[in-house]
Structure 1
Amino acid sequence: MEKHVEIGKTGLQVAPIGFGANTIGAHNLFQNIDEDVSRETLRVALAEGVDFFDSAFMYGLGRSEELIGEVLAETGRRSDVVLATKAAHVVTGSNVTLDNAPTFLTESVDKALKRLETDYIDLFYIHFPDGVTPPDEAVGALQRLKEAGKIRAIGLSNFSMDALKLANKDGYVDVVQDKYSLVYPGLEEDMIPYCVEQGISFIPYTPLASGLLTGKFAASNPPQDFRKERPHFQGQTYIDITAKVDSLQNLANQHSTSIANIVLATTITINGVDVVIPGAKSPEQVRANMKTLQVTLTHEEVMQVRALFK
Structure 2
Amino acid sequence: MSKQVRLGASSITVNPVGLGTNAVGGHNIYPNLDDEIGREIIRTAIDEGINFFDTAFYYGPERSEELIGQVVKEHGSRDKIVLATKGAHRSVNGEMELDNSPSFLRQAVEGALKRLQTDYLDLFYIHFPDEGTPKDEAVGTLKQLKDEGKIRSIGVSNFSIEQLTEANKDGYVDVVQSEYNLFKRDVEKDILPYTSKNTISFIPYFPLAAGLLGGKYTKDTTFNDGRAKNPLFQGETFLRNLEKVEQVREIAQAKNAEVAHVVLAWYLTRDSIDALIPGAKRPDQVINNLKTLDVELSHAEIEKIDNIFT
- Secondary structure of the residue aligned to 1:209 is coil
Give 2:241's aligned residue. 241
Distance apart, 1:254 and its partner CA: 1.8
Give 2:292's aligned residue. 292
Give, in whole Å, the separation in 2 of the partners of 1:222 and 1:302: 31
The runs of 5 or more residues in structure 2 that have no matched partner are none
Q: Which amino acid aligns with 2:62?
A: G
- Secondary structure of the residue aligned to 2:252 is helix
Give, in whole Å, the separation in 2 of the partners of 1:236 and 1:79: 50
Give, in whole Å, the separation in 1 of the partners of 2:208 and 2:156: 21
Q: What is the 5 A alignment of 1:1-310?
A: 3-310=3-310
What's the TM-score once normalised by structure 2's chain length? 0.97
Give the root-mean-square deviation of aligned CA atoms.
1.3
Give, in whole Å, the separation in 2 of the partners of 1:144 and 1:159: 21
Give, in whole Å, the separation in 2 of the partners of 1:153 and 1:283: 28
- Secondary structure of the residue aligned to 2:262 is helix
> CA-to-partner distance for each residue in 1:156-209, whole Å, 9 max, x for gaps?
000111111111111111111000001111110111101111111111111111
Distance apart, 1:281 and its partner CA: 1.2
> CA-to-partner distance for each residue in 1:36-65, whole Å, 9 max, x for gaps?
110111111111111100000000011100
Please identify, of 107-116 and 232-241, the stretch whose mean Cα deviation from structure 2 is larger: 232-241
Distance apart, 1:6 and its partner CA: 0.9
CA contact 1:119–1:150 (8 Å) conserved in 2: yes
> CA-to-partner distance for each residue in 1:95-116, whole Å, 9 max, x for gaps?
1101011010011101101111
Distance apart, 1:142 and its partner CA: 0.2
The runs of 5 or more residues in structure 1 that have no matched partner are none
Query: Are the structure 2 counterparts of residues 2 and 271 from structure 1 closer, same or farther at C-alpha, using a change threshold of 3 Å?
Result: farther
Distance apart, 1:2 and its partner CA: 6.2
Give, in whole Å, the separation in 2 of the partners of 1:176 and 1:30: 25
Give, in whole Å, the separation in 2 of the partners of 1:2 and 1:273: 16
Moved over 6 A (4+): none
Distance apart, 1:224 and its partner CA: 2.2
Distance apart, 1:92 and its partner CA: 3.5
Give, in whole Å, the separation in 2 of the partners of 1:157 and 1:67: 22
Please identify, of 218-227 and 118-127, the stretch whose mean Cα deviation from structure 2 is larger: 218-227
Give, in whole Å, the separation in 2 of the partners of 1:196 and 1:249: 29
What's the TM-score once normalised by structure 1's chain length? 0.97
Aligned length: 310
User: Taking every aligned residue pair, what percent have the same amino acid on both sides?
Assistant: 50
Distance apart, 1:249 and its partner CA: 2.0
Q: Which amino acid aligns with 1:8?
A: G
> CA-to-partner distance for each residue in 1:239-266, whole Å, 9 max, x for gaps?
1111111222222122221100000000
- Secondary structure of the residue aligned to 1:210 is coil
Distance apart, 1:295 and its partner CA: 1.2
Give, in whole Å, the separation in 2 of the partners of 1:92 and 1:142: 23
Distance apart, 1:222 and its partner CA: 3.8
Give, in whole Å, the separation in 1 of the partners of 2:257 and 2:4: 20
Please identify, of 79-88 and 91-100, the stretch whose mean Cα deviation from structure 2 is larger: 91-100
